[in-house]
């Protein structure tokens, strides 16, 4: 049983207490040609707007994984698996084959609207931050509550054991700058993908 009332400790714990297809669902879209995975481990009704944002970033180009809480039981405490405990097997299998992993989350923090960036892939994190800043989106990469440096954070469990976590603040999700931020990040990921394919 969870050490915190209602909060699952791992996927097996969550699956014992909740029913797939009733309390939550998993969406998986593979793009065999792409080394990029965009994931929303707290999608649906868990962290508002993160499924929509992850889908928009992935588009038809990148692998997509969503773990979605379904109303009315899709609330934060019941289905929120802490990122360093997020071990749902389909997600881990997908990202294990990907060079770049980007996890989309939602938070209530400053700067708002803006994106707080974390994760161990410093080069990709910088690329994403630069793209967002150039598009007029406020970013913060250090000195916030979501550094995502734990090696077991799901964003860091791809093929290279490093990834990027994007915490979208409340007013950015669903606000007038959401589409701008999405396009900036898509551009950054397409550039990263092309850089990987370029001859060295």
Whole-number pLDDT of residue 197: 73
pLDDT tens for each residue of 30-87: 999 999 999 999 999 999 999 999 999 999 999 999 999 998 766 788 899 999 999 9
Q: Given its phi and psi angles, is residue 143 left (phi above 0), alpha (psi -120 to 50 degrees) or beta?
A: left
Provide φ and ψ at 54, rounded to 5°: -60, -45
Q: Which pTM does this prediction carry?
A: 0.95
For the chain, give the percent of residues with pLDDT over 70. Answer: 95
Alpha-carbon distance of 81 to 142, in angstroms, equals 24
Q: Where are the domains of the chain?
A: 11-197
Q: What is the mean pLDDT of residues 168-193?
A: 98
Whole-number pLDDT of residue 192: 97
Alpha-carbon distance of 39 to 113, in angstroms, equals 21
H/E/C letters for each residue in 133-191? HHCCCEEECCCCCCCCCCCCCHHHCCCCCCCEEEEEECCCCCCCCHHHHHHHHHHHHHH
114-118 sheet: strands from edge to edge: 24-29, 63-69, 36-44, 100-107, 164-169, 114-118, 138-140
Q: What is the mean pLDDT of residues 165-169?
A: 98
pLDDT tens for each residue of 145-159: 999 999 999 999 999
CATH topology for 11-197? Aminopeptidase (3.40.630)
In the structure encoding, which two tokens stand for residue 171, read together? 């007013």
Whole-number pLDDT of residue 120: 98
2 has pLDDT over 60:
no
**C-alpha gyration radius of the chain:** 16
Alpha-carbon distance of 34 to 99, in angstroms, equals 9
198 has pLDDT over 60:
yes
In the structure encoding, which two tokens stand for residue 117, read together? 């960036």
In the structure encoding, which two tokens stand for residue 97, read together? 């084959």
CA distances from 45 to 25, 143, 192 (A): 11, 28, 31
Instruction: Please state whether beta strands 164-169 and 114-118 pair in parallel, antiparallel, or not at all (unpaired).
Output: antiparallel
Query: What is the full DSSP assignment across 58-75?
Result: HTTTSEEEEEEE-TTS--
């Amino acid at each position: 049983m969870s050490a915190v009332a209602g909060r699952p400790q791992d996927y097996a714990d969550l699956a014992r207490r909740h029913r797939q297809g009733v309390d939550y669902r998993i969406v998986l879209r593979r793009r065999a040609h792409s080394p990029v995975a965009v994931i929303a481990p707290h999608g649906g009704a868990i962290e508002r707007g993160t499924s929509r944002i992850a889908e928009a970033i992935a588009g038809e180009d990148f692998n997509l994984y969503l773990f979605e809480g379904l109303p009315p039981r899709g609330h934060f405490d019941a289905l929120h698996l802490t990122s360093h405990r997020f071990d749902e097997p389909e997600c881990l299998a997908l990202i294990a084959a990907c060079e770049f992993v980007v996890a989309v989350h939602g938070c209530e923090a400053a700067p708002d609207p803006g994106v707080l960036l974390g994760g161990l892939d410093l080069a990709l994190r910088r690329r994403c931050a630069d793209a967002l800043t150039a598009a007029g989106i406020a970013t913060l990469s250090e000195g916030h509550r979501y550094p995502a440096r734990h090696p077991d954070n799901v964003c860091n469990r791809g093929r290279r054991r490093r990834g990027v976590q994007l915490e979208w603040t409340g007013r950015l999700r669903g606000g007038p700058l959401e589409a701008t931020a999405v396009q900036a990040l898509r551009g950054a990921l397409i550039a990263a993908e092309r850089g990987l394919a370029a001859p060295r």
